[in-house]
Amino acid sequence: MLNRDTLNDMATKISEALPEPARKMQAQFKSQVEDMIAQGLKDLHVVTQDEFDRQAEKLSKAEAKLADLEARLATLEKTDG
- Backbone phi, psi, residue 24, to 5°: -65, -25
Alpha-carbon distance of 77 to 52, in angstroms, equals 37
SS3 track for 4-31: HHHHHHHHHHHHHCCCHHHHCCHHHHHH
pLDDT digits (tens, 9 = 90+) for 17-67: 877 777 677 777 778 888 888 888 788 877 888 999 999 999 999 999 999
Who wins on pLDDT, 70 or 34? 70
Global pTM? Answer: 0.48
pLDDT of the residue at 34: 83
Tell me how far CA of residue 36 lies from CA of 15, 62, 77, 78, in angstroms: 13, 37, 57, 60
pLDDT of the residue at 55: 96
